[in-house]
Amino acid sequence: MSILASKSQGKGGPDPIFAISDMAKVRAEEVGAQNIVNATIGSFLDSEGRLVTLKSVEEAMRSLDFSDACDYAPIAGLPRFIDAAIDAAFLDCRPEAYLAGMATPGGTGGLHNAFYNYLEEGATCITTDRYWGNYASLLDEIGRKLDTFNTFDGDKFDIKACLAKVHEYAAKQKNMMLLLNTPAHNPTGFSVTDDEWQILIKELSAVANNGVNNVILVIDVAYIDFAGPHGRDFFKLFTHLPDNFLVIVTFSMSKGYTLYGYRLGCMIGISSSQETIEEFKKANAYSSRATWSNCNRAAMLTMIEFADHPEKQAIFKAEQEDLRLSLVKRAETFITEANAVDLPICPYQAGFFITVPTKDVQEAQEIAAIMREDDIFVVPLGAGLRVAICAIPEEKITGMAAKFKEAFKRLEK
């Protein structure tokens, strides 16, 4: 018997990522954490398996006045935080357009508001078929849907498949919403290139100008601080867009500031229309108030602390860069070895995860099971295996590609 409201019945249940993570934890207790490879966790961990945090962020946070940090923040966020978050998101690549920021609990909150306010009930958001699973839950929870298109054409973003889906949904619903997680996509690490962005923007502008549709482009930049130099250049392209083409950037402090649990992000609206931006502020502030109310003031003050003290900001940026470079080294180790043993991987430019593609969902499950026999824990996700290089030190990455190759060979026999 269920006493849940009818629309809530049947939802929930074990999360496939946490299920594999739990297997790794059980095994670590049996044989010792140092003797297993747990590449399931989506946080940056050091060689002892502890969460990496940035000293500059810790110091900025510890320097806050406690009662100030504990107070409520305005629903939209402290104005100086919003300015600082917009600066941090765009750096020197700010588009020439009207901009507005809204504090959100992580990038997740921004996604929720975007889905809720710009899609009719029952309408669909489109994204790549390799995607962060929570998109589907966020949409489903509020009675919206997800549809996907092929992510890659060989070693490139499948822009043709993307645009075909854009046109399919432009014919079905007024607000055509495209969601892209770039740069440094989860779970593959790919980034849309600037040339691809040019094509996308041209085509999406044509849709916006067709007299029927509005275009809502949601860009999930949760991993942007790991994208490296030029990772933000594409933002400049969102200049002089049609008035009914809204870009929503969901910026997060979880990964780049190592403040995962503090739950702070900023959804940033970019538009050529002041009216659209005013509406963005009003509607999203209302949704925030009606969903989680206000966000974490301590994390906002931390960001303000950096904005107000260039010397602290410089130390923070240097530390963040070291973190990025250590991830680059981990990725290089995996990719070099994958090339050496001829193990195909999905296109990777940057980010926390690398995906080893499989021919189908079943093969992914089988390879994951074989890898577990060697105490290597990776997450089967659709037709592929997600390797969280963020969670394992280089010494544990060494040899992993060869193990994958062996697993594929064993399966062939």
DSSP letter assigned to residue 292: T
For the bound state, the minimum distance from the C-beta of residue 17 to ligand PLP, rounded and expressed in Å, comes to 10
- Smallest gap, in angstroms, from Cβ of residue 76 to ligand PLP? 18
Using CB under 6 A, pick the residue from 265, 380, 382, 384 that binds ligand PLP: 265
Distance in angstroms between the alpha carbons of the first and the last residue of the chain: 47
**Considering the complex, what minimum distance in angstroms separates the CB of residue 171 from ligand PLP?**
28
Minimum CB separation of residue 338 from ligand PLP in Å reads 22
Is 351 one of the binding residues for ligand PLP (CB under 6 A)?
no
Q: Which is nearer to ligand PLP, 42 or 189 (CB)?
A: 42
Rounded Cα distance between 239 and 82, Å, is 20
Query: What part of residues 378-397 is at the interface with ligand PLP (CB under 6 A)?
Result: none
Give counts: helices (H), strands (E), the chain. 14, 14
Using CB under 6 A, pick the residue from 20, 38, 42, 112 that binds ligand PLP.
42
Does position 220 interact with ligand PLP (CB under 6 A)? The reply is yes
Which residue type occupies 22?
D
Q: Are strands 384-388 and 379-380 parallel, antiparallel or unpaired?
A: antiparallel
Q: Which is nearer to ligand PLP, 134 or 273 (CB)?
A: 134
Residue 296 binding ligand PLP, by CB under 6 A: no
Number of residues that bind ligand PLP (CB under 6 A): 13
186 binds ligand PLP (CB under 6 A): yes
Long-range contacts of 393-400 (CB under 8 A, 24+ apart): 393/46, 393/47, 393/330, 394/329, 394/330, 394/333, 395/47, 396/37, 396/39, 397/330, 397/333, 397/334, 397/337, 398/333, 398/337, 399/337, 400/37, 400/39, 400/334, 400/337, 400/376
Please report how close the Cβ of residue 113 comes to ligand PLP at its closest, in angstroms: 12
> Which residue is it, tokens 């940026």?
317
42 versus 382: smaller Cβ distance to ligand PLP: 42
Interaction mask 61-100, ligand PLP, x per CB under 6 A: ----------------------------------------
Out of 166, 222, 241, 371, the residue judged to bind ligand PLP by CB under 6 A: 222
In single-letter form, the type of residue at position 220 comes to: D
Residue choice 38, 40, 128, 181 for contact with ligand PLP (CB under 6 A)? 181
Structure tokens at 178: 């495209």
- Residue numbers 233-262 binding ligand PLP by CB under 6 A: 252, 254, 260
> What would the two tokens of residue 183 be?
């740069």
Min. distance of Cβ 104 from ligand PLP in angstroms?
A: 8
Select from 224, 143, 126 the least CA-distant residue to 180: 126
| Helix/strand/coil for 185 | coil
| Using rule CB under 6 A, residue 40 touches ligand PLP | no
CA distances, 162 to each of 120, 122, 129, 134, 149 (Å): 21, 21, 10, 20, 6
Q: Least CB distance from residue 62 to ligand PLP, whole Å?
A: 22
Structure tokens at 60: 């900025």
Chain residue whose CB lies nearest ligand PLP:
106
Residues near ligand PLP (CB under 6 A):
42, 106-108, 132, 181, 186, 220, 222, 252, 254, 260, 265
